[in-house]
Chain A
Amino acid sequence: QAQLLQSAAEVKEPGASVRVSCKASGYTFTDYGFAWVRQAPGQGLEWLGWISTYNTYTVYAPKFQGRVTMTTDTSTTTVYMELRSLRSDDTGMYYCAKDRAPRRLDCFDVWGQGTMVTVSS
Chain B
Amino acid sequence: DIQMTQSPSTLSASVGDRVTITCRASRGVSRWVAWYQQKPGKAPKLLIYKASNLERGVPSRFSGSESGTEFTLTINNLQPDDSATYFCQLYDSFWTFGQGTKVEIK
Contact = CB atoms under 8 A, between A and B. Distances in A.
Nearest to A108: B46
A40 interface: no
Given A95-B43, A112-B43, A106 B91 contact: yes
B66 interface: no
Contacts of B79: none
B93 A105 contact: yes
A114 B95 contact: no
Interface stretch (A10-18, A23-31, A42-50): A42-50
A77 interface: no
Contacts of B45: 111
A107 B97 contact: no
A20 interface: no
Interface of B: 1, 32, 34, 36, 38, 43-46, 49, 55, 87, 89, 91-100
9 contacts: A37-B97, A45-B89, A47-B95, A97-B43, A100-B46, A105-B92, A107-B34, A108-B46, A111-B45
